[in-house]
Amino acid sequence: MTAFKYNRPKGTQDFVPPQSERKFAVEMLFRELAGLYGYREIVTPTFEHTELFIRSSGIASDIVTKEMYTFNDRADRSLTLKPEGTPGVIRALLENGLRLPYRLFYIAPFFRYNRPQKGRYREFYQLGLEALGEASPLTDAEVVYLGVEFFSRLKITDCVVRVNSIGCRSCRPALREKLVSYLHTHQGGLCPDCNGRIELNPLRVFDCKNPECRKTLAEAPLPSNHLCPDCQHHFEVFLDWLTVLGVKFEVDASLVRGLDYYNRTTFEIISSALGAQISLGGGGRYDYLIEELGGPATPAVGMAIGLERTMFSMPEDQAAESRRKLVFVVWTSEKEFRPAWELVNRLRAAGIPAQLSYDRPKIRHQFHLADISGAIVAVIAGETELLRGVYGIKNLKTGEQHEVPVNEIVTYLKSLIGG
Ligand code: HAM
């Protein structure tokens, strides 16, 4: 019988140690930072009714038209694994009757059926936040600033912030009219997808990566040139406040983003760390979405950061410990097993991570286990040492050996692992 080989599904990944630990550290930093700015964590289901995404992410968006993991459950309901976080947060806000304004953050896996490549997966994690019920352009700037601060704390220094304004309900009709007529006269230079977008959602064409479309759009009427006075003012205050906050930014007049719910501010934080320019995070204002999903008219702005892309862009920490904060207790014969086990319990009670082998292998094997466990130190509970009231110590990083009195072991190990 041939053994079946299991592989993870295309576009998914495993986080094995130490990557899983790095992931945890990045998530903790985001939690801490979001908390500092007054955001509280929200957890929503991994799947939602498909309709929610169609109504919010947008019927003309690539996400909805090509990338959703949609399935019918056994009762024939159409459900979708969430491709992004914002719609579920709004649904939960309305369903739970949360009082506005409310700042919420989330850390979760999301699912998009796209062509996997480095930094693009079918299952990926986002660190996201939403400031619900806040209308000021200063909130927009603060959201961007939080993102920039997050990357700078991770020593990701090659970030560029791109910003734009795509207007509101009152300035869009005039833009739309001009844009549609421009697109109709340039149909030959547009890909089939963009041709399909002309009537459905013409702004979407600016999001197309096709070089031919980009060329065709070089002369197209741009949203930021058609802002009404209120949107113009919002944009100017947003840019001024970014300057006050010391955020370096570029205005990118074609930045419309891939989701349909945005109005006014859109932004992306880009890094060149992966070779090609990729967006580490992005977001914007969405003042109509809550109303469109059945709630009261409520302004809102948010952002999501890609966790994997962030981890790729982080500099390798040269000073990273090759060994972890773990003590491996080695026992030399059956008689020392019990005192060794008691020591492990004492260390754990004192907050020191400790482990020993229950499998009674030879000492040589125990040292091998200590080594591959990544422990920083082995404590040897040997017959002669215990009779003399000491433990043998082997520093697994340096190889250096010495002895420590039994009653000083906790203090000694605490200072060694910095606990
Ligand atoms: P998004 O731009 O679609 O925005 O995604 C945000 C970030 O998620 C991207 O900048 C990228 O880092 C990461 N990301 C997206 N797709 C993938 C993928 N296939 N593989 C790896 N990483 C990926 C949103 O999702 C909006 N909900 C953000 C938002 C929140 N707007 C307002 N509030």
pLDDT above 90 (res 408): yes
Confidence of residue 65 (pLDDT cuts 50, 70, 90): confident
Query: How far, in Å, from the CA of 126 to the mean position of ligand 1?
Result: 7
Query: Is the peptide bond between 353 and the residue preceding it cis, with omega within 30 degrees of 0?
Result: no
Q: Is the CB of 280 under 6 A from ligand 1?
A: yes
The ligand 1 atom at the shortest distance from the C-alpha of residue 120 is: 20
Mutate to test the pocket of ligand 1, among 48, 84, 313 (most ligand atoms within 8 A of CB): 84
Residue ranges of E strands in 121-276: 123-132, 159-165, 249-251, 263-271
Number of helices (H), then strands (E), belonging to the chain: the values are: 15, 16
**Residue 154 host element (H or E):** none
- At residue 149, the pLDDT reads 97
pLDDT above 80 (res 283): yes
Own/partner pairs for 71-77, CB < 8 Å, 24+ apart? 77/49
Instruction: Report domain 327-417's class.
Output: alpha beta
Amino acid at 58: G
Q: 């002309």: which residue's tokens?
A: 198
**What span, in angstroms and rounded, lies between the C-alpha atoms of 360 and 203?**
68
- At residue 200, the pLDDT reads 86
**What span, in angstroms and rounded, lies between the C-alpha atoms of 51 and 41?**
25
pLDDT above 80 (res 238): yes
**Cβ contacts of 201 within 8 Å, gap of 6 or more:** 58, 59, 60, 61, 260
Rounded mean pLDDT of the chain? 94
Query: How far, in Å, from the CA of 295 to the mean position of ligand 1?
Result: 24
Q: Is the CB of 126 under 6 A from ligand 1?
A: yes
Residue nearest to atom 1 of ligand 1 (CA): 282
The ligand 1 atom at the shortest distance from the C-alpha of residue 302 is: 33
Q: Which CATH architecture has domain 19-171+227-318?
A: 2-Layer Sandwich (3.30)
CB atoms within 10 A of CB 42: 21
Amino acid at 73: D
**What span, in angstroms and rounded, lies between the C-alpha atoms of 228 and 264?**
10
CA 40 to chain centre: 16
The answer to whether the predicted template modeling score (pTM) of the entire model surpasses 0.85 is yes
Domain map (residue ranges) of the chain: 19-171+227-318, 327-417
**What span, in angstroms and rounded, lies between the C-alpha atoms of 110 and 45?**
11
Q: Which of 125, 147, 140, 152 is nearest to 266 (CA)?
A: 140
